[in-house]
């Protein structure tokens, strides 16, 4: 395990091992047991070319709890934002840092950082995937359901970065996944092929549909995300029209299992992709999910950067 560029890079065993470590680190943190030895003296650079609340804060806090130092690098403040190449940035930062977390637009930039640098690279979201989010989601599902394999997760909404990573993550751990998107907003075709290959090995079923009710029927987990991802602000008007039938509300929830839980990576837009009664209701575990970003990413950092 050298990098986390996409969950595709990781085997089922590596994913499950990381979740196990995340659980252990979470228990230790909750019981006040310090674990600063893991990354003592190590430094992680955090490059952001997009906004963030959860990713930035959970990586900074996580790094501190593990004994290391986070350095926040707003892309506008480093030469990358003025046209220095990813190649030269990777080569230079590799001389100072022990790892880099990057949130940016192009997946190829994250892959180039890994190719040209010689330190671990962690993908903190691109237009294509959001692997750290899905590790936290799997941890949350496991905590609430006591298992992963054989459960059914329904994702309703935009076939975006979060949906793409959910496809891979669910397929790799044997969760059945159904994805309901409007026509023209499906998940990435190459990611779907990767997920289908992984699903063959774990027995996960993948269903793609344009019908939200079909996707949600008998689901254990219902998941949605914003209809307007970062960088798509100008598409808001058109997207809202197309996506309105895909709102997660009480009626849609009634097709799921009685004890189904609701997940959302956040930030959420109440009244659009989800109603307030669902996201603020008893089935919602979105803040456990947000908390688990911290624990899951600490496990990722220990796996990639620990001694
Ligand atoms: N879910 C997530 O990645 O949140 P942020 O954009 O706040 O980091
Ligand atoms: N799909 C969203 C996720 C935000 C965490 C986006 O890319 O903006």
Nearest Cα neighbor of 2 from 126, 169, 121 is 121
Instruction: Compute the distance from residue 95 Cα to the ligand 2 centre, in Å.
Output: 31
Ligand 1 neighbour 133 (Cβ under 6 A): yes
Pocket test for ligand 1, best of 267, 279, 294 (most atoms within 8 A of CB): 267
**pLDDT digits 0-9 by tens, 17-56:** 999 999 999 999 999 999 999 999 999 999 999 999 999 9
- Going by CA atoms, what residue is nearest to atom 2 of ligand 2? 229
pLDDT over 90 (residue 131): yes
- Going by CA atoms, what residue is nearest to atom 6 of ligand 2? 229
pLDDT number for residue 222 = 99
- Going by CA atoms, what residue is nearest to atom 6 of ligand 1? 52
**pLDDT digits 0-9 by tens, 218-256:** 999 999 999 999 999 999 999 999 999 999 999 999 999
Instruction: Compute the distance from residue 245 Cα to the ligand 1 centre, in Å.
Output: 25
Question: Options 3.40.50.1370, 3.30.230.10, 3.30.413.10, 3.10.110.10; which CATH number does 133-289 get?
Answer: 3.40.50.1370
Query: What are the C-alpha distances in Å from 26 to residues 64, 80, 144, 159?
Result: 14, 35, 15, 31
pLDDT number for residue 191 = 98
pLDDT above 70 coverage of the chain, percent: 100
The answer to whether residue 95 is catalytic is: no
pLDDT number for residue 1 = 73
The values of phi and psi at residue 282, to 5°, are -70, -20
pLDDT number for residue 307 = 76
pLDDT over 90 (residue 217): yes
User: Active-site residue among 103, 176, 264, 295?
Assistant: 103
Pocket test for ligand 2, best of 125, 267, 297 (most atoms within 8 A of CB): 125
pLDDT over 80 (residue 297): yes
Burial code of 8-18, b = ≥16 C-beta within 10 A, e = fewer? bebeeeebbeb
Query: What are the C-alpha distances in Å from 286 to residues 58, 144, 153, 222?
Result: 15, 12, 15, 11
pLDDT band at 109 (very low <50, low <70, confident <90, very high): very high
* 125 Cα nearest atom in ligand 1: 3
> Are 144 and 288 within 8 A, CB to CB?
yes
**pLDDT digits 0-9 by tens, 162-210:** 999 999 999 999 999 999 999 999 999 999 999 999 999 999 999 999 9
User: Active-site residue among 187, 265, 295, 297?
Assistant: 265
Domain ranges of the chain: 7-130+292-305, 133-289
Q: Which DSSP state fits 188?
A: P
In words, the CATH class of domain 7-130+292-305 is: alpha beta
pLDDT band at 258 (very low <50, low <70, confident <90, very high): very high
pLDDT number for residue 85 = 96
pLDDT over 80 (residue 96): yes
The values of phi and psi at residue 176, to 5°, are -75, 135
pLDDT over 90 (residue 264): yes
The answer to whether residue 103 is catalytic is: yes
Same fold, 7-130+292-305 and 133-289: yes
pLDDT band at 268 (very low <50, low <70, confident <90, very high): very high
Q: Rounded to whole angstroms, how far apart are CA atoms 282 and 137?
A: 18
pLDDT number for residue 108 = 98
Sequence-distant (≥ 6) Cβ neighbours of residue 95 within 8 angstroms: none
């Amino acid at each position: 395990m050298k990098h986390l560029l996409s969950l595709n890079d990781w085997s089922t065993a590596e994913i499950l091992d990381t979740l196990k470590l995340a659980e252990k680190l979470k228990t230790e943190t909750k019981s006040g047991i310090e674990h600063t030895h893991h990354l003592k003296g190590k430094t992680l650079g955090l490059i952001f070319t997009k906004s963030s609340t959860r990713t930035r804060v959970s990586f900074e806090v996580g790094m501190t709890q593990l004994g290391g130092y986070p350095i926040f690098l707003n892309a506008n403040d480093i030469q990358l934002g003025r046209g220095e190449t990813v190649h030269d940035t990777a080569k230079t930062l590799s001389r100072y840092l022990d790892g880099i977390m990057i949130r940016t637009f192009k997946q190829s930039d994250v892959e180039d950082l890994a190719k040209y640098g010689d330190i671990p690279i962690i993908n903190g979201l691109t237009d294509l995937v959001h692997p750290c989010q899905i590790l936290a989601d799997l941890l949350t599902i496991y905590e609430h359901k006591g298992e992963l394999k054989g459960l059914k997760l329904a994702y309703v909404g935009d076939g975006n970065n979060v949906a793409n990573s959910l496809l891979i993550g669910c397929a790799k751990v044997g969760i059945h996944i159904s994805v309901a998107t409007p026509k023209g907003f499906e998940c990435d075709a190459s990611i779907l092929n990767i997920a289908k290959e992984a699903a063959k090995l774990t027995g996960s079923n993948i269903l793609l549909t344009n019908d939200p009710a079909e996707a949600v029927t008998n689901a254990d987990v219902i998941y949605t995300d914003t209809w307007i991802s970062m960088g798509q602000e100008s598409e808001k008007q058109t997207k809202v029209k197309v996506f309105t039938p895909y709102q997660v509300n009480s009626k849609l929830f009634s097709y799921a299992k009685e004890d189904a839980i609701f997940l959302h990576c956040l930030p959420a837009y109440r009244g659009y992709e989800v109603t307030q009664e669902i996201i603020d209701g008893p089935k919602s575990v979105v803040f456990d999910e947000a908390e688990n970003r911290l624990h899951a990413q600490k496990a990722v950092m220990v796996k990639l950067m620990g001694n």
